[in-house]
């Protein structure tokens, strides 16, 4: 494992733990999109179906379990915890899942026809590229961006940027096969974050509260 992948994994892990600590510790999910969390839960569920059939390493297994348990815990708290669910901004978080799920599933069927697990894996790759959109739209609508939520989105975007560097590094140092769909989806995901990154760094430089243009 190279340093870029390790940094990607750690920033991804930190983003999820940070969000879980905010929701559980502050007993509030204000500014957090349940739609995005449900999409990520679907991403991890469909990608990690091989968890108990294809052992890679202890590190790989533990990371998969952490992502699954943490993400489903966030969804559960936002939906069913009597205190936390009251803070959920349901009226602003109105992005319809179907507009992302159905196209991603169709793309997976078109580009991967080597079996159900391969289709679901491709579906998870496509869906992950756009799963953050409901969260970004919610922040844009409400302008309710506290430091923890802003850092969560930043870490999540940084994870994908590190993974792109990982792919580039491996391309020049290892005899790896280029996975075009993975690369393209990763680039799309990074582009989705570009606008947020700009305003994140701008607010940090000017010591101002993060705000996205409406």
Q: Is residue 212 part of a domain?
A: no
Domain that holds residue 195: 3-206
Whether the CB-CB separation of 133 and 192 falls below 8 Å is answered with yes
What's the rounded mean pLDDT across residues 50-69? Answer: 90
Q: Is residue 184 part of a domain?
A: yes
Confidence of residue 212 (pLDDT cuts 50, 70, 90): confident
Q: Is residue 69 part of a domain?
A: yes
Q: Is residue 183 part of a domain?
A: yes
Check the CA dihedral 161-165-171-173 and report its sign.
negative
- Give, as one character, the DSSP assignment of residue 178: P
What pTM was computed for the model?
0.92
Q: What is the pLDDT of residues 130-139, one digit of tens each?
A: 999 999 999 9
How far is the C-alpha of 115 from the C-alpha of 131, rounded, in Å?
24
Confidence of residue 185 (pLDDT cuts 50, 70, 90): confident
Q: What is the pLDDT of residues 69-108, one digit of tens each?
A: 999 999 999 999 999 999 999 999 999 999 999 999 999 9
Whether the CB-CB separation of 33 and 138 falls below 8 Å is answered with yes
- Please name which of 58, 184, 194, 168 lies closest in space to residue 122, comparing C-alpha atoms: 184
pLDDT at 176 over 70: no
Q: What tokens were used for 164?
A: 């792109």
pLDDT value, residue 214? 66
Whether the CB-CB separation of 171 and 38 falls below 8 Å is answered with no
Domain count, the chain: 1
- Please name which of 89, 78, 95 lies closest in space to residue 134, comparing C-alpha atoms: 95
Q: Is residue 102 part of a domain?
A: yes
Q: Is residue 67 part of a domain?
A: yes
What are the residues whose beta carbons fall under 8 Å from the beta carbon of 142, sequence distance 6 or more?
Answer: 31, 89, 92
- Report CA-CA distances (Å) from 142 to 26, 99, 139, 145, 186: 19, 21, 5, 8, 27
pLDDT at 113 over 70: no
Mean predicted lDDT score pLDDT of the chain: 89
pLDDT value, residue 39? 97
Q: What is the pLDDT of residues 122-168, one digit of tens each?
A: 999 999 999 999 999 999 888 767 888 999 999 999 998 898 898 88
């Amino acid at each position: 494992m190279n340093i870029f992948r390790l940094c990607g994994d750690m920033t991804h892990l930190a983003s999820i733990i940070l969000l879980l600590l905010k929701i559980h510790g502050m007993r509030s999910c204000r500014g957090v999109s349940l739609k995005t969390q449900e999409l990520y839960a679907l991403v991890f569920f469909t990608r990690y179906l091989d968890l108990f059939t294809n052992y890679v390493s202890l590190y790989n297994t533990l990371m998969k379990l952490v992502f699954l348990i943490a993400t489903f815990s966030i969804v559960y708290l936002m939906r069913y915890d009597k205190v936390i669910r009251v803070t959920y901004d349901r009226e602003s978080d109105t992005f319809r899942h179907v507009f992302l799920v159905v196209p991603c599933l169709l793309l997976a069927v078109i580009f991967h026809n080597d079996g159900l697990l391969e289709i679901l894996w491709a579906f998870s790759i496509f869906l992950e590229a756009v799963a953050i959109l409901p969260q970004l739209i919610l922040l844009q609508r409400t302008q309710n961006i506290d430091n923890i939520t802003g850092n969560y989105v930043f870490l999540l975007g940084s994870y994908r940027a590190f993974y792109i560097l990982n792919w580039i590094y491996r391309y020049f140092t290892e005899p790896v096969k280029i996975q075009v769909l993975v690369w393209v989806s990763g680039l799309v995901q990074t582009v989705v974050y570009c606008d947020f990154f700009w305003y994140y760094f701008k607010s940090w430089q000017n010591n101002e509260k993060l705000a996205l243009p409406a």
